[in-house]
Structure 1
Amino acid sequence: MTQPLEILPVLGLPEIEVDADLGALIAKAVELRHGDILLVTSKIVSKAEGRLVHAVDREAAIDAEAVRVVARRGRTRIVQNRQGLVMAAAGVDASNTAPGTVLLLPLDPDGSARAIRARIHELTGRQVAVIVTDTFGRPWRNGLTDVAIGAAGLDVLEDHRGRTDSHGNELVLTMTAVADELAAAGDLVKGKATGTPVAVVRGLAAAVTEQDGDGIRPLVRPIEEDMFRLGTSEAVREAVTLRRTVREFSEEPVHPEAVRRAVAAAVTAPAPHHTTPWRFVLLESPAARTELLDAMLAAWQRDLRELDGWDEAKVARRTARGDVLRKAPYLVVPCLVMDGCHPYPDPRRAAAEREMFTVAIGAAVQNLLVTLAGEGYGTAWVSSTMFCRDTVREVLHLPDTWDPMGAVAVGRPLAQPKDRPPRGAAEFITVR
């Protein structure tokens, strides 16, 4: 960009009431030019759209607007709101409103921007862009700034990928959040307490498009790409909630280091007698997975026929459950080792000793699954290796003292699991 820019406050706007014609009020307050970019504070959009509500309890209003809590510290909550934006308090604002009332964000900020743009074009014939802005804090940065929460008439992202920089290096990841840059620039002349809710950026006519465009959606990072979707203490709770059994995986390979990080979390689990009763066999090659699964299938089919007396149809139905392991791009076989267990002649104590170690491997596997969920992987812990341990040990060349405790299928979910209702703890608790 080489042309000069002007950032102009729009002065003289009246106090905005419900059903106010924002497009007409702005067009009357400032002489707009073709290619101007309007920056409109969401507060006046909310007022015009009747999003002022009586709320004795602001927290209840936040509850109603939030769809997911990302982080909480004291009374401060970072949440994802119904528009998909991650922000403090779901955008519920108690400033510059009458006592006992709060302002909610517009229901459809993109729609609001399109309506203002269309009205201005109708009244003036000018083709402008409109950005609806709101104030955000930012992770790892102090201070607030305005960002775009709705847009019409411009591309909110400028994609530089495939271009070269001044040294001839190809740009691989660079995408500029143009709408956010404009929102922050406009805030320099709007301010927070000056009663100037609209600004005009002039000098970027080339950025204004004939069509309304995709709105703000390209700026909102998809949840599956969000590396920072979890907050502080919420990270563990949310990762536990995210841990779901996934049976359909994409073809995307699993990063081996992600699994190793999960194993590092697994081995922090509690264990009896200061032991480390876990081993994890990582099947990273297709050949190793196929060899193991073929041998397990043959052993299962033989035992179900000869030992359990099942017919072929029943055998086929039962062994089909192992398909989830074949569809996964990565397998982990957790093994229990009893090194360090106390020998007890009494069979009851010996059984309890093994149960203690079995609980430990379960805790370790849970750590593994939760950590993988936090990395965006889906998992399915399948018990099948426990029914043919000798076969597994033989194929994988494992010591006789290693007891395979199922197998964990790992991969990127083919589709995001459906939300499930929260499960309260009350019915599982007994207090004495």
Structure 2
Amino acid sequence: MAETADNEVTLRRILALAVPALGVLAAEPLYVLIDTAVVGHLGAVDLAGLALGGTLLSVLTSQLTFLSYGTTARTSRLYGAGRRAEAVAEGGQASWLAIAVGLLVLVLGEIFAGDLAQLLVGRTPVAEAAAEWLQIALLGAPAILITLAGNGWMRGVQDTVRPLRYVLAANIVSAIACPLLVYPLGFGLVGSAIANVMAQTLAALLFVLALVRERALVRPDLSVMRAQMVLGRDLILRSAAFQICFLSAASVAARSSAAAAGAHQIVYQLWVFLSLVLDSLAIAAQSLIGAELGGERTARAQRVAWQITGYSLLLGIGLGLLFALLYPVLPQAFTNDRAVLAQIPEAWWLFVAQQPVAGIVFALDGVLLGAGDAAFLRTTTLASALAGFFPLIWLSYAFGWGLLGIWSGLTVFLVARLLATVWRTYSGAWAVAGA
């Protein structure tokens, strides 16, 4: 297909994809906050059980986000080539794969839930509560993965509004069901897990219904699912690098002191929140870049890549300035513990300085994911983590550098990825045309 100048990508078009995507990304953290507030009144053991069980479920499912990002990369190319029906059919195959992998996660999780909880906190009441919660919540594992696949194919066909409606509907049901099941109906902590399963099941049913309406829920095709797993392998390894580093950072902060652990938790959760904001533009980049390459418009794909990166850089600068100005008041909104407040500056100013860098890195991650360049992202993420972030975390523990060392490691990690993704994008090697 020849390059054309029609339908140029405008800021309005980018925001039409990014804003609903941000809503989907933010829905889960908001639900967790509601769930935490409800369970928090049951007592410390139940709250700790929810925290531990929720973390284990998150770690298990976050390794499988290739069902979302990988599906977007594959479907967006077909959509850009004018083959929308095939793009949606790709989503159908991803949904079958989600069911198969979800059932495997369910079975293994049910067998090892208790062992995993005890491995982290020993034979304690907290471990028992976490295992009880996790064994119920895991019933929703196939539904969680179907939802990931559904988000992936809908983003690929540049529809980010329907996923927002589905996820919001599910979270509203859960927000109503959770307090009812926990208190009036007397299920306690288990009620939280049941509400979680109800929400995930509703969302999955809505995505499956969308496939049925598109007549795309056909028989499983092992060749297509095998190709999806190849892309998934690279994304799983990339995600594992993140998980290992962030779990290590939390561990070292906790080993330093309770104050350091509290300060790290506050700044890290803010970092995660801003990552969601920046990731919404990355999702728009995935969808648009895949479509441009699928339509064999490589020159325009390169222009769109730098265009979105410019917007993301400006957003990162704005977020950095905003949180620099909020420093005198925002930490006090999370804690009044003087020891924790005294530790926060060691992480805060590095967190602020990282935002423009993160703006570029997240956008170019989206560009390269949209192009299906997962092998490059896998290699550079692993190298940046193992050569920069991970060593500095544990050197901080060995030499007592505290949060300054940990957050310096995260900064090195981001800068290394910045250099790699900028070079790769500038080279144009990722811009391979075709569906």
TM-score of the two chains, using structure 1 as the length reference:
0.20
The structure whose residues are more often helix, as a share, is 2
The structure whose residues are more often strand, as a share, is 1
Higher relative contact order (CA 8 A, sep 6+): 2
